[in-house]
Amino acid sequence: MSTYQLFATTPKAMETILTEELQSLGINNIKATMAGVAFQGDLETAYRACLWSRTANRILLVLSSFEVKTQEDLYNGVQKINWFEHINPEDTFAVSFSAKNSQAINNTHFGALKVKDAIVDQMRVKFQKRPSINTGQPHIRINVYLNGESAQLSLDLSGESLHRRGYRDINIKAPMKENLAAAMLLRCGWPEIAKQHGSLIDPMCGSGTLLLEGAMIAADYAPGLLRDYFGFTGWKKHDAECWKKLRIEALQRRKAGLEKLPVIAGFDQNRHTVNAAQTHIANAGLQNKIHVERRDIEDAEPAESWKPGLLICNPPYGERLGDAQETAELYKKMGETLKAHFIGWKAALIISDPELGFRLGIRSQKPITLFNGALECKLLRLNIEESNFFIPKAKTQEERIAQVLAIGTTKQPDAGTERFADGESVSELRAEAFANRLKKNLKKMSKWARQNHITCYRVYDADLPEYAAAVDIYQGEAYRSQSTPLAYAAVGEQTWVIVQEYEPPKTVDQHKADQRLAGLLAEIPQVLGVNSEQVFLKIRRKQRSADQYEKQGDQGRFHSIEEGGCKLLVNFEDYLDTGLFLDHRPIRMLIQRQAKGKRFLNLFAYTGTATAHAAVGGAKSTTTVDMSNTYINWAKNNMALNKCTGEQHEFIQADCVEWLENEAKQAEIRQYDLIFLDPPTFSNSKRMDDVFDIQNDHVQLINNTAALLAPDGILYFSTNFRRFKMDKPALSGLTLEDITATTIPEDFSRSPRIHYCWRITK
């Protein structure tokens, strides 16, 4: 029997899997290349690869290789083959042509036509007849691959891609091809698990591809047995007896394999996909061999009689717009299901976004790269053991609160011991060291607050590094929820506690940090004498742009506090900040004392608290500028709460940088006696034309603001950028007085770099 040069194509990143598979079929002289494997063998070898390969796309029999520098070189190279050895004049054929880095031919359609012409012209000259084209199921399919100037001409023995096993309903779209499913199973060690009678479960089985491929692997079921067409069946050199012998052998192996098939089961919440899976199972002749039922991921669990094995699935990737949060929640549920019901199992899933894998809360082995079509994905392989469990980092305020509060309430100490399973002691969980420090701070700060008539203040600020959080007390008037803050009905004095968690460094174990935060939250109500419902947790992370102003919720509950005779609205649930920066209390009081009879300008005004203080202090007029309509309205409500309304109080929704540039050009129109300038450190808001950076842009910003100062006017400039350096030489026309020390309040004295402040005059 003749020996042929053969080539098996496969999706990118599956070359190694295909190599191992061909070796298992007894094939030698193998060389893996990009997206394929070259090998040698006779027709039986080629047929065996077509019948048994689970990961190949096509098996090509190489007829010739030749150089192509011009279009005529392609035509002549094809004509050198005696096509009558492969096809009769009355038969049909099809051509597949692809090119890469070719200067001669870069249009694949034109290349295919050139190959067709060469074959047709040769046959017409010899027989005065020509074969016709059939793109469906031709007698032979010819494949030409042109790489640079090197062309390889082959017969496609598979005819159509080998991933088409023959069991799929063509009207049902599948999220993955069969050979990718097989590659996943092979990479996860399913053949060995199946030999040990381990079970296979797909909790999101869709149309059943992974289940069917898993059953075929476990049953020694040749993937090509169901196909009724291959590219060699109409070929003149086809060895029908050899093919018949291979099929009989495969049928016998399938019969024996099906008798020892392990448990294979799938679940899916969608009724239509469950029906599709059952159709495909029937098409494969595997009725009563694969169990499929409608069940949600939260209810996916094995029966007691099922031996632990492999759970595998292709979950949604969340690629469509708006799916991100829903998909993340799905992965979280999957992780909970795995932890609850699949201890001792192995699990695998293919994902496009590695971040989603962390949502499972289970450490994985090194991910394997695979491609689902053109989309690069990662195959995660997991051992479902408690030692591999971790708490995924929360992405939202609600997630973080739920995550932390769950610690200590769901986890019980081991029997007969005072320690938890991971070694954290009960006393550590209760955060006794934190409680003692908080009591000490409260005794000192509450006395200071009473003496200075302060109702909102910081009582703890990461004093103990292991308890990295800030704790603020707010005392004020509670309101019943109504349509607008000013329509609220007061229900009496209350105390609220805001806990701002500082994100722990990556070197700190997340679970340990969560336990400490849970202990901190458990101690606060007892030490401060408040109900747990009055304690609000905030996640304080390194900010990007103006993240602190982005909405975190939509409760719409506002409360009123009083500061120096000025009433201000605060919100504890909907935003990262409450609407009141406590460290700016001294500068607000300074503005209130100096505002009488003055024209006041508040830039980057946020919720307008400084404006309210100026108005209460007797300002002649106020102008409040901020880019956010939400905060402009909040500022208006703060003013209305203090009965400071009228045309003399102006509110402008605008980009402050742009507004200042325009106003500075006509400074004689607007003049102010008192200005407060408190810009963000950085902003790339979509509403701004350019990126704003306080260090780079402060000179122009201050100069433009100072242009609006009336004679003898005062500008207070503040920034919370800790590495800020004032460029004094560039501001030589102004008088700069650093008043930072006098504007840091007592409750922030432990962190004096909370902000910097200057008094600026012309």
**Which of 125, 156, 187 is the last residue in one of the domains?**
156
3-class state of residue 166 by DSSP: coil
Structure tokens at 183: 């590659």
**How high is the mean pLDDT of the chain?**
89
Structure tokens at 64: 């010739």
CA distance 303 to 323: 32
Q: Is the per-residue pLDDT at 252 higher than 80?
A: yes
Q: Which residue has the tokens 């005059």?
A: 761
For the segment 550-609, what is each residue's pLDDT rounded down to a tens digit? Answer: 445 567 789 999 999 999 999 998 888 999 999 999 999 999 999 999 999 999 999 999
- DSSP letters spanning 280-345: HHHHTT-TTTSEEEE--GGG----TTSPP-EEEE------STT-HHHHHHHHHHHHHHHHHH-TT-
**pLDDT value at position 544?**
41
> What average pLDDT score do residues 391-406 get?
61
* Residue 312 belongs to domain with CATH number: 3.40.50.150
**Which of 544, 579, 614 is the last residue in one of the domains?**
579
Same domain, 571 and 605: no
CA distance 743 to 628: 27
CA distance 555 to 567: 21
Q: Is the per-residue pLDDT at 231 higher than 50?
A: yes
* CB within 8 Å of 220: residues ≥ 6 apart: 253, 254, 256, 257
In a domain, 356, yes or no: yes
In a domain, 12, yes or no: yes
Strands (DSSP E) contained in 590-660 are: 599-603, 621-626, 649-653
In a domain, 414, yes or no: yes
Q: Are 461 and 751 in contact (CB under 8 A)?
A: yes
For the segment 431-449, what is each residue's pLDDT rounded down to a tens digit? Answer: 788 999 999 999 999 999 9
Same domain, 596 and 567: no
Q: Are 521 and 405 in contact (CB under 8 A)?
A: yes
In a domain, 162, yes or no: no
* CB within 8 Å of 631: residues ≥ 6 apart: 549, 605, 606, 607, 608
Structure tokens at 595: 């505002």
In a domain, 242, yes or no: no
* Residue 17 belongs to domain with CATH number: 3.30.2130.30
Same domain, 555 and 588: no
* CB within 8 Å of 27: residues ≥ 6 apart: 39, 41, 45, 48, 49
The H or E element containing residue 650 is strand 649-653
Q: Is the per-residue pLDDT at 715 higher than 80?
A: yes
Residue 393: closest CA among 466, 461, 328, 334: 328
Same domain, 712 and 659: yes
Structure tokens at 402: 């739920």
**Which of 579, 614, 640 is the last residue in one of the domains?**
579
In a domain, 250, yes or no: no
Burial profile 75-101: b = 16 or more Cβ within 10 angstroms, e = fewer: eebbbebebeebbebebbbbbbbebee
CA distance 444 to 405: 29
Whether the model pTM is above 0.85:
no
* Residue 524 belongs to domain with CATH number: 3.30.750.80
CA distance 351 to 332: 14
Q: Is the per-residue pLDDT at 531 higher than 70?
A: yes
Same domain, 518 and 585: no
First-to-last alpha carbon distance for the chain, in angstroms, is: 100
Determine the structural domain holding residue 478 and report its residue range: 394-579
C-beta neighbour count of 750 within 10 angstroms: 13
Same domain, 450 and 575: yes
Same domain, 51 and 84: yes
In a domain, 671, yes or no: yes
For the segment 450-463, what is each residue's pLDDT rounded down to a tens digit? Answer: 999 999 999 999 98
Same domain, 611 and 550: no
Q: Are 621 and 648 in contact (CB under 8 A)?
A: yes
**pLDDT value at position 319?**
54
Same domain, 559 and 591: no
One-letter amino acid at 327 equals T
Handedness of CA 503, 507, 509, 513 (dihedral sign): negative
Same domain, 63 and 129: yes
HSE (side-chain half, CA atoms, 13 Å) at 473: 23
**pLDDT value at position 226?**
97
For the segment 276-302, what is each residue's pLDDT rounded down to a tens digit? Answer: 999 999 999 999 999 999 999 999 999
- DSSP letters spanning 494-521: EEEEEEEEEPPPTTS-HHHHHHHHHHHH
Q: Are 86 and 138 in contact (CB under 8 A)?
A: no
Q: What is the dihedral of CA 60, 64, 66, 72, to 10 degrees?
A: -90
When pLDDT is cut at 50, 70 and 90, the band that residue 421 belongs to is very low
| Count of domains forming the chain | 4
Helix axes 609-616, 585-594, angle to 10 degrees: 30
Helix axes 209-218, 178-187, angle to 10 degrees: 60
3-class state of residue 70 by DSSP: coil
For the segment 472-510, what is each residue's pLDDT rounded down to a tens digit? Answer: 999 998 765 444 555 555 556 899 999 998 876 666 666
In a domain, 68, yes or no: yes
Same domain, 613 and 522: no
**pLDDT value at position 169?**
87
Structure tokens at 78: 């094809």
Give the phi and the psi of residue 568 in degrees, each rounded to 5: -140, 140
Residue 621: closest CA among 603, 594, 648: 648
Same domain, 365 and 444: no
**pLDDT value at position 356?**
84
> What average pLDDT score do residues 89-107 get?
95
Q: Which residue has the tokens 């029906």?
A: 275
CA distance 64 to 81: 8
Q: Is the per-residue pLDDT at 419 higher than 70?
A: no
Q: Are 493 and 534 in contact (CB under 8 A)?
A: no
Q: Is the per-residue pLDDT at 416 higher than 60?
A: no
The H or E element containing residue 614 is helix 609-616
Structure tokens at 687: 């509403």
Residue 698: closest CA among 660, 662, 667: 660
3-class state of residue 35 by DSSP: coil
> What average pLDDT score do residues 106-112 get?
93
> What average pLDDT score do residues 344-354 get?
93
